[in-house]
Structure 1
Amino acid sequence: MKTSFLLSSLVPAAAGVFQPSAHAAVREHLELEATLLAPYHGDARGARPDARTFTLSFEYPGLSGRRPVTWRLDLVAPSGRRVARWQGRVALVGRPADAAVRWTGSVAGHRPAPGVYRVRLHAASGAESVDQAWDIAVGALPAPALPRFAPLATGHARMLAVPAAGALPYTVYYGNLHSQTRDSDGGGPVDTCHGAQDPQSAPYGPDAAYPYARRHGLDMLMVSEHNHMYDGSDGTNPDADPAKARAMYQAGLATARDFSAANPGFLALYGMEWGVIGNGGHLNIFDSDELLGWERNGKGELIADTETPKSDYAALYALMRQRGWTGQFNHPALAGQFVVNGTPLAYTPDGDAVMALCEVVNSSAFSNSENEGETRRSNFEQACDKLLEAGYHVAFSSNQDNHCANWGASYSNRSAVLVPAGAPLTRASFLDAVRARRVFATMDKDAQIVFTANGHLMGERFDNAGALHLQVAYASTSGRQAATVAIMEGVPGRNGDVTQLSDQADVTTTPAPGAHFYYAKVTQDDGKVLWSAPVWVAQAALP
């Protein structure tokens, strides 16, 4: 039996319109943001140890006026049945707003059956909507049996300075592959930063970002500046000097090269975050030495090196393939982004050839935390699954999209790449790892996940006949344990739903003939999640 709840004590929404802020810098981020904090474990107190409080956070950066938001929160049992619902409304008036939802730990007055439940948030304001989902543990769950795993060496001594005996021949490097500085709308001082900056107005640029990230234990930092802000505006500056914009981009590339050369073991990357949010979608290009753009100044001069039509993703993918560039889907939404021929998250062969990563988790882009304490985190697994089902060969990444001068420090999440043991971390070895999809996403910088299929490492594509042995390996040096394991499966090109194959770390299956992909998730006992890269299997029909 489904139970439903309505919260009526929240701030009532009022009809009305909103106006953009007078500060032009925030127009790029003028969109509804909603996050869900769902504690993995209950309060563990008294007769209802599964009781907990869910925190819903809403924001509309740059808002001037009043913006109504409606939301609903569903609790879904392992069977897929919704067992509880809460609903409410808030009115945003230029500052973030939170709503607290208290779950007593019971369903229809009874203690629910143990299992992994899903908490789903849907928030809407006008035509905009945001969907978020996180898993929670209900009841006492047995710890999963994990295979013996010799952890990989890491760039920093958080795990092992040298590989353990029998370890895979790779070194893991952890970093943040999405951030901004003053070259676009980032680099704001932490003590006063609460959002995007006016382009090129903040004090801190790439020369400050790289040493900051290195001091905070990262092995790599990607500074990804908004490609359309090199004119010094979030709109189009009719007085922009194209030569100055191009020179700024080249200076950023030089800063990254020089810092990497002077600091072996740390990789400084510089590139662009291409696109816009409205009628668009942001993506990172890791390795373009050309500034791409569509804006022209009052004289009709292109404010870029190479012209790319705004929001034309098919054309961009084709150019990237021609140039040999590599990309990442940034915070992808389920609707209205990366549209080709009217279809969001649309597959193209060119896109598949160049897009290697999909952000599965971001911490808040406007966090000013420097102690990894940010609680606002967005989950994009549903959109990444849609891309995989469309046919993209993408691995998961987890980044911070920093706009304040706290590069990599807002939360403990990282993107991790596997570089062959003995090879230095360089732009070339990083790109080789990303193109091979030897990447995992983690919310815990002190943890590892490795996924194999018949001995093939995550990221690989291979032909198979007969049984398929899937194995998940996990390690942590911070005292954490794996609470749950999930092996997910899907079919590239089907455009359907990714489903869970198993809750075991070691499983053998015989796929149906045709194409399949599999990836693994490990949820730690503190609720932090790790995602492996998928493997892609072409299963032969039995004779």
Structure 2
Amino acid sequence: MKKNKSHAAALFAAALAALTVFGAAPAGALNLYYGDIHSHTSFSDGEGIPEEAFDYARTTGKADFWTVSDHLEQLDKRQDLLEGAAPVDEFEHTMKVADEKDDPGKFAAFAGFEWATDVSQGHINVLNAKSIPSVNKTYRLKQFYKWIYDNPDAMMGFNHPAEPDGFRFNNFELVPAIARQVFFCAVTRERDIPYFYNSLDAGWWLAPSGHQDNHSRNWGTHPNGNFTGVYAEELTRESIIEAFRARRFFATNDRASKIMLTGNGQPMGARLTAESATLEIDVANGGGAKISTVSLIGNGGETLEKWTPGSAEFKVSASRAASTGKTLWFVVFAEFDNGRYIMSAPIWLRSEAGI
């Protein structure tokens, strides 16, 4: 059912009130870190144990940060043997191991979980939660959203939205009460990209994240090459979480690449209130690949401008005007001649005239 304009305006206002200010840190004061927020162990449907995952991701995968996020329905406070050792509460053990493996300034370790009980509505990853909910009490998407709302420090996002068919999170219907806590949409494969655009059109304030979604002992070395690149002030849990809250991160399947999009001097993730935005685009690949195309994408997934650099580095400026009564979003998508890609977080632009 289509909603009328007044209802849409009310949703926008409510969501705006629920959100924190994004993009507050100047781009020049930030460092770039690579890692992942979605991987599994034998505590659900993967291999190994959390100790292995964090150690491998750090030493072999060369990740700056890593998250173990086993499936909720397989963690639900049941007691399992830890490969022949004494029984443990799996989520509590994962949190304990993350605390032990966390090394401020060198490696950030996170414990999370993946909600997937109502499979018709998709899979959701959760970070920064100190406990897990009851599977029976959060079986439906609406129930799970309520749990997120009741746990305001918890952060969540939409996993692999294009696979399998039908995983659409109630068609990305905006829930303003939890908008501040919903921070990513996974872009694990190119077929996920249209759904990321759909989520932005629905009104969510999200950035794209690259997930390896490991189910084997290849944390950080998965063949898909996916990483999330985060611009943070320092390599600590607190700083990475701040960057997630600011939507200051990007998705790529080429670790040698990087991207920055700024709007009126504010880094990607920023929500601007102005009559126009000067967008500065900076894409680079340090692994030998050349940049084939750089596209500026806007509402509806429309390609607004496109460039064909053919070089390892590319910088360009673009100006876009605001639209009265409508919030605009801008994303940069770049492809490399090795078949890999990178996608920025959005810049949002809203006219001073408002809605």
Q: Select which of 454, 478, 484 maps to 2:287.
A: 478
Cα distance between partner residues in 2 of 1:533 and 1:469:
16
Displacement of 1:170 after TM fit? 0.8
Cα distance between partner residues in 1 of 2:338 and 2:128:
36
Displacement of 1:382 after TM fit? 1.1
Cα contact 1:175–1:416 (8 A) shared by 2: yes
Q: Select which of 95, 104, 119 maps to 1:253.
A: 95
Q: Give the letter aligned to residue 175 of structure 2.
A: T
- Give the 3 Å change call, closer, same or farther, for CA 177–167 of structure 1 in structure 2: closer
Q: Give the letter aligned to residue 239 of structure 2.
A: S
The 5 A counterparts of 1:54-453 are 168-187=28-47, 204-215=48-59, 216-230=61-75, 247-261=89-103, 264-276=105-117, 278-295=119-136, 308-311=137-140, 313-324=141-152, 325-333=154-162, 336-337=166-167, 339=169, 343-362=170-189, 379-411=191-223, 412-420=225-233, 423=234, 425-453=235-263
- Give the 3 Å change call, closer, same or farther, for CA 270–288 of structure 1 in structure 2: same
- Give the 3 Å change call, closer, same or farther, for CA 286–483 of structure 1 in structure 2: same
Unaligned runs of 5+ in 2: 1-25, 81-85, 308-315
- Give the 3 Å change call, closer, same or farther, for CA 241–440 of structure 1 in structure 2: closer
Could you say what secondary structure the match of 1:223 adopts?
strand
The 5 A counterparts of 1:8-23 are none
Cα distance between partner residues in 2 of 1:225 and 1:486:
35
Cα distance between partner residues in 2 of 1:230 and 1:540:
47
Displacement of 1:321 after TM fit? 3.0
Q: 1:57-113, CA deviations, whole angstroms, 9 ceiling, x for partnerless residues?
A: xxxxxxxxxxxxxxxxxxxxxxxxxxxxxxxxxxxxxxxxxxxxxxxxxxxxxxxxx
Q: Select which of 263, 284, 305 maps to 1:502.
A: 305
Identity %: 28
Displacement of 1:512 after TM fit? 2.2
Cα distance between partner residues in 2 of 1:350 and 1:316:
13
Displacement of 1:264 after TM fit? 4.4
Cα contact 1:480–1:525 (8 A) shared by 2: yes
Could you say what secondary structure the match of 1:440 adopts?
strand
Cα distance between partner residues in 1 of 2:177 and 2:49:
33
Are residue 516 (structure 1) and residue 318 (structure 2) matched?
Answer: no
Displacement of 1:541 after TM fit? 4.8
Give the TM-score, by structure 1 length. Answer: 0.54
- Give the 3 Å change call, closer, same or farther, for CA 507–258 of structure 1 in structure 2: same
Could you say what secondary structure the match of 1:279 adopts?
helix
- Give the 3 Å change call, closer, same or farther, for CA 323–167 of structure 1 in structure 2: closer
Unaligned runs of 5+ in 1: 1-165, 188-203, 233-239, 296-307, 363-377, 491-496
**Structure with the largest fraction of helix:** 2
Aligned partner of 1:464 in structure 2 is 274
Q: 1:100-156, CA deviations, whole angstroms, 9 ceiling, x for partnerless residues?
A: xxxxxxxxxxxxxxxxxxxxxxxxxxxxxxxxxxxxxxxxxxxxxxxxxxxxxxxxx
Cα distance between partner residues in 2 of 1:207 and 1:292:
23
Cα distance between partner residues in 2 of 1:179 and 1:473:
29
Number of corresponding residues: 311
Which structure ranks higher in relative contact order (CA pairs < 8 Å, sequence separation ≥ 6)? 2
Aligned partner of 2:312 in structure 1 is none
Could you say what secondary structure the match of 2:43 adopts?
coil
- Give the 3 Å change call, closer, same or farther, for CA 266–506 of structure 1 in structure 2: same
Displacement of 1:338 after TM fit? 5.1
